[in-house]
Amino acid sequence: MIADEIVLSFPNITRVTMSKVLEYCNIHGAGADDETRAFDEQFVDVDQKTLFDLVLAAHDLKIKMLYDIVGERTGDMMKGKTPEEIRIIFNIGENSCVDDHPLQKELNPWAFE
């Protein structure tokens, strides 16, 4: 029997995430311009769970452009922050904190001031 449709299933990606991914792909189908730039800015303006789901989905589906913007957005959330600030932003509990790391002391002088 020849199948008329091909069904792809992605057990690791939720429906919500997949619909966002498809939205992104549709907008970017025509190439980049000012509109797509504006779309990108509000597209990454989401809560952490959605953002990280998008990172994982883009990685699995190998969509480089999407992976780059959501990855960069995640990176921006970490840049220029002290360890304490990072704990607060990403909800990392204090009971697993580590006080210092040799590289930390030398290169990032203001983290503990």
Partner 1 sequence: MEDKETGRRAKRSVMAHKKSSGDTDTDTTSASVAGDSLLEKIPESILNEIFLMLEPETLTTLCSLACVSRTLQSTVNKALSSFSSVDLSAFSLDSQTFDEVIRSFGKLKKITLDCLRLNDSSIRSFLGPDIEELVLLKCSSVSYRLLSSIGNICPNLRVLTLEFSVSVHKSALFDLVRQGSLLSCQRLESLRIKIRGGDFNDYGFLLLGIYHELPHTIKLLKLQPASALETIVFLKTFTYANSLVPLAPMTFGQTLTHISLVIDIITDTLLHTIAHCLPQLVELDLKDNPTSLRVEDLSNLGIQSLVNCKHLTSLSLVRSRQCIASLFKRTTDMGMFLLSEGCNRLDSVRFGGFSKVSDAGFASILNSCSSLNKFEIQNAFLLTDLAFQDFSKFPRSLVEVKLVSCNSVTSEAVSELATCSSLEVLDLFGCKSVADSCLHNISRLTLLTTLNLGCADVTDVGMAVLGKGNTQISCLSLRGCRRVSDEGIISLLGSESKIRKTLSSLDLGHMQGVTDNSITTIADACVGLTELTIRNCYHVTDASVMALAFKGRVRRLDLYNCTALSGKSFQFLKKPLFRGLQWIGIGGTRLNRVGDDGFDEICGERQWLTICKDGCEVGCHDGWQFHEF
Report, in Å, the least distance between residue 39 CB and partner 1: 14
33 binding partner 1? (CB under 8 A):
no
Q: At closest approach, how far in Å is the CB of 53 from partner 1? A: 9
- d(C-alpha 80, C-alpha 112), whole Å: 13
Beta carbon nearer to partner 1, 7 or 100? 100
At a CB cut-off of 8 Å and minimum separation 6, what does 67 contact? Answer: 55, 58, 59
| 74: alpha, beta or left? (left if phi > 0; alpha if psi -120 to 50) | alpha
Check residue 30 for interaction with partner 1 (CB under 8 A): no
- Which stretches of the chain bind partner 1, using CB under 8 A? 41, 44-49, 51-52, 55-56, 59, 68, 71-72, 74-104, 106-111, 113
